[in-house]
Structure 1
């Protein structure tokens, strides 16, 4: 049963890395250096932690995750529009597992001159959490074909807060921190993927790329 303690430790470490990132950005530290430190911590977790998404064989060959270069143009300050229909979606993950999530808001931004709208979800499981998955035009050639996550607060990943503001009606969406779901690394994982409404025709060339264990 020690794997439960390992899982708890892993989630604590993930949450700590996001907290350190947020504190650094709120303190106006260099965003590129902050991202570099964050990625190094993430690579270290993948390389060594018992609850890494990688299996033991993959860990032995692991040389680091692949990332798009830092792109400051893909960092947005957005206002969450909560005046949206509260739609519930049922996602079948496997024969034994399913997941309900509810639309709780939308955010709008401009990427390469194109208007983009993304839905923000609440995962309807014990405790709940905010969830922002998306799929973009880099899929499947450059990024994972099932899409990526920007945050999943149940697992410790978070959006970036606005300096000197409380609450989350406004937030910073930094796509340089977009990351793959665990199922991108090997088939032992089952993950919720981006629904059709969060599938974009524009490329989000930032964050984590498709995984190749080379």
Structure 2
């Protein structure tokens, strides 16, 4: 039954991000993301919150929605194409190939970010990052903004720009439970300025 509940979790997350991409108003979409994830974390068998903590967990701590933290960026060929590789516990080996470099974040956040492609069957885009809040107000290992294997994908504009809304940044499961091993943000994806948007530490 564990596989069945995992499939249900993934289906619900996929449906959530589909609804987010269809929404006309980003803040309304964010409120849906917040409320849906609160319910899943407190009630679902696949929640990263341990079963004995779920009843009293309450809500995922988040910064207030900030429209200035939503960007539509162009993508360029990355300067560094070295593949990052590592182990992620029971999930085995992971390889991350730099797929693109953003263009449009540096003026606000102090640096551009690398978008990775997860090698392997099916593949998927992946965007982890750290910033000046990491280790203080947010998890030191960083947060995720995109992980399309797990359906965390905010989509593109009609003219092909990638939507990066940091209000949807979230902690990896390993922040919530030692049962998980997660790939962390590489040094090239450390933003020098604070990103007070998305999930924070309680």
Identify unmatched segments of 5+ residues in structure 2. none
Whole-angstrom distance in 2 between the partners of 1:139 and 1:203: 8
User: Aligned residue for 1:155?
Assistant: 150
**1:56 has 2:56 as partner:** no
1:1-214 alignment runs, 5 A limit: 2-24=1-23, 28=24, 30-82=25-77, 84-94=79-89, 97-110=92-105, 113-162=108-157, 164-165=158-159, 169-210=160-201, 212=202
Q: 1:49 to 1:115 in 2, by over 3 A?
A: same
Give SS of 1:61's match. Answer: coil
Give SS of 1:160's match. Answer: coil
Compute the displacement of 1:68 (Å).
Answer: 0.4
Compute the displacement of 1:110 (Å).
Answer: 3.8
Aligned alpha-carbon RMSD (Å): 1.8
Whole-angstrom distance in 2 between the partners of 1:80 and 1:111: 13
4+ residue runs of structure 1 moved beyond 6 angstroms? none
**Matched length:** 202
Contact 1:89 1:100 survives alignment (8 Å): yes
Contact 1:149 1:178 survives alignment (8 Å): yes
Compute the displacement of 1:96 (Å).
Answer: 7.8
Whole-angstrom distance in 2 between the partners of 1:73 and 1:96: 36
Whole-angstrom distance in 1 between the partners of 2:106 and 2:58: 31
Identify unmatched segments of 5+ residues in structure 1. none
Cα deviations across residues 138-165 of structure 1 (Å, max 9, x unaligned)? Answer: 1111111110000100011103321x34
